[in-house]
Amino acid sequence: MKTREFKKKLYKQLAVVTKALSNPTRLEILDLIAQGPVPVEYIAEHIDQPVANASQHLQVLKKSGLVETERKGKYNYYQLAGKQVYDVWNSLRAIGFSRNSEIEDLLNDYRSKKSGLKTISRDELLRKMEEDDVYLIDVRPSEEFELGHIKNAVSLPKVELGERLDELPKDKEVVAYCRGPLCLMADEAVRFLKENGFNAVRLDEGFPEWKAIDLPVD
Amino acid sequence: MKTREFKKKLYKQLAVVTKALSNPTRLEILDLIAQGPVPVEYIAEHIDQPVANASQHLQVLKKSGLVETERKGKYNYYQLAGKQVYDVWNSLRAIGFSRNSEIEDLLNDYRSKKSGLKTISRDELLRKMEEDDVYLIDVRPSEEFELGHIKNAVSLPKVELGERLDELPKDKEVVAYCRGPLCLMADEAVRFLKENGFNAVRLDEGFPEWKAIDLPVD
DNA sequence: ACTTCATTCAATAAATTTATTGAATGAAGT
DNA sequence: ACTTCATTCAATAAATTTATTGAATGAAGT
């Protein structure tokens, strides 16, 4: 085999992984299953696509080695194929954030138009947690909360927020988090809480980032 | 702006980076410019494509924020946009290696058919260097050697190897390295040296890997 | 001011990828 | 053995990306 021909084959194989990453819908899927193993139907519902479509994207991700499946009862549970994959996705997202100004603009646009939302960093949250100065809520769907969440967080899914406002303290700062820096549920929760007179902010990251550096989870 | 619409835009922007990575030719370019800043023509020649083509790929990489340019005299020098980018490419390559068995097969095929080539690890090389037990040659083109190389390595480009065999010691192990684990020049050099009676092995990585973890360079 | 030459742009045909639909498969429960 | 239902496969039109070519641009040197 000629060297040139070999090289072509080699880089073509390497591009299997990067091609799998090159589609927006699949990136959204990765962001979602970084929360923990979930079945196809759950994924399809949350990315707003037909199940057949979600399945095809998952096959691409699986063939590329980025995603693994495990059968549990009737369902196939899809999850990231190891921490290595999470790290790559995290780095890619960071490059997008730091090098693509349109992403920053989009986020600022969305967040500031919905009223000036404050965010809080991981370190600030840890400090306030030590002083018992915050009430931390996880606004993801309860399925994801049960797969793992920040220690001492209370599950309060965004969709249930309206009818469970009385569970929240008025005298403490309420901190909301969800799937990650791109996840909007926490933003929407904070906006709603502020409209109702609460002192609320969002954590500027989400559960996977927290877990990835081995901070306390349950 | 509706949440769904916003999410679509956001992931579409993030996919700008991953789409830039999704083409085999562009991966080859990244592997090449990880050596240091080089102009378009140099890249075109080494990836065996017309200059216009190389330029277009470089534009995609630049727009995505993965690659930067610097003007020096007549030429635009292209380089990776920071260590972050090198790390991502390195991780992606590692995922490819560990999860795509065809890549391993390809490499084994190519290497073993050309006679059983041995490789040496970074740690082994460091140990032998301390004992002054090796003669380390850099078989990349001299342009790349001059942009940076492993400390104490001697420049001996693969193309000049045949006419400069008398510079090499017969009583020491000769270790060859080039651009990285995918780079074939070191393999070809080692094969040629063994045919000529030298005790030769290749380093299982290349210059960028060495530099990335701050081992001594010149 | 003009020339040279590196680099980029623009247009296009061919190749690849995506979304969508309906049919096929195959595991779990009865 | 049969039924149910989650998941995957297959086909196809529309959309996107790639390689290729020749023209356009624009910086450096004279």
Tell me how far apart the alpha carbons of residues B53 and B29 are, in angstroms, rounded to a whole number: 12
Taking CB atoms and an 8 Å limit, are A18 and B21 in contact across chains?
yes
Q: What is the CATH number of the domain that holds B22?
A: 1.10.10.10
Q: Over 90: is that where the pLDDT of B77 sits?
A: no
Q: What is the CATH number of the domain that holds A162?
A: 3.40.250.10
Q: In this predicted structure, what is the pLDDT of residue B114?
A: 55
Q: Is residue A93 part of a domain?
A: no
Least CA distance to B12: which residue of chain A?
A: A24
What is the secondary structure of A101-153 as a DSSP string? HHHHHHHHHHHHHT----EE-HHHHHHHHHTT-EEEEE-S-HHHHHT--BTT-
Same domain assignment for residues B119 and B45: no
Q: Is residue A156 part of a domain?
A: yes
Chain B residues 45 to 74 with C-beta below 7 Å from nucleic strand D: 49-50, 52-53, 56-57, 60, 71, 73-74
Q: In this predicted structure, what is the pLDDT of residue B124?
A: 94
Nearest to B142, CA basis, from B126, B113, B164, B174: B164
Same domain assignment for residues B126 and B208: yes
Spatial strand order of the sheet with A67-72 comes to: A38-39, A75-80, A67-72
Quote the longest CA-to-CA distance of chain A. 73
Q: In this predicted structure, what is the pLDDT of residue A201?
A: 93
Render pLDDT for B163-217 as a digit per residue (tens, 0 to 9). 999 999 999 999 999 998 888 889 889 999 999 999 999 998 999 899 888 898 8
Catalytic residue among B178, B185, B193, B200: B178
Q: In this predicted structure, what is the pLDDT of residue A109?
A: 78
Among B45, B67, B85, which residue terminates a domain? B85
Q: Which residues partner with A68 through β-bridges? A: A79
Write out the residue range of the structural domain in which residue A154 sits: 107-212
Q: In this predicted structure, what is the pLDDT of residue B123?
A: 94
Among A55, A85, A115, which residue terminates a domain? A85
**Encoding tokens for residue B120?**
């040496």
Name the closest residue (CA) to the C1' of nucleotide C26. A74
Q: How far is CA B156 from CA A42, B128, B145, in A?
A: 57, 20, 9
Q: Number of folded domains in chain B? A: 2
Q: Is residue A28 part of a domain?
A: yes
Minimum mean pLDDT among A149-153, A172-176, B1-5, B166-170: which range? B1-5
Q: In this predicted structure, what is the pLDDT of residue A213?
A: 87
Q: Is residue B107 part of a domain?
A: no
Nucleotides of strand D within 7 Å of the protein's CB atoms: 6-10, 17-23, 27-29
Q: Is residue B74 helix, strand or coil?
A: coil
Nucleotides of strand C within 7 Å of the protein's CB atoms: 6-10, 17-23, 27-29
| Cβ(A183)–Cβ(A139) below 8 Å | no
User: Catalytic annotation on B178?
Assistant: yes
Query: Which residues on chain A are in Cβ contact (under 8 Å) with B85?
Result: 95
**Residue A74 CB closer than 7 angstroms to strand D?**
yes
Same domain assignment for residues B72 and B133: no
More confident residue, B191 or A103: B191
Tell me how far apart the alpha carbons of residues A213 and B100 are, in angstroms, rounded to a whole number: 27
Same domain assignment for residues A112 and A199: yes
Spatial strand order of the sheet with A154-155 comes to: A119-120, A200-206, A173-178, A134-138, A154-155
Same domain assignment for residues A112 and A208: yes
* A43 CA vs D9 C1’ separation (Å): 19
Minimum mean pLDDT among A101-105, A139-143, B52-56: which range? A101-105
Active site residues of A: 178
Residue A81 CA, distance from chain mean position: 16
E-only strand ranges, chain B? 38-39, 67-72, 75-80, 119-120, 134-138, 154-155, 173-178, 200-206
Q: Residue B103's CB: how many other CB atoms inside 10 A?
A: 22
Tell me how far apart the alpha carbons of residues A210 and A177 are, in angstroms, rounded to a whole number: 11
Among A35, A52, A85, which residue terminates a domain? A85
Same domain assignment for residues A8 and A56: yes
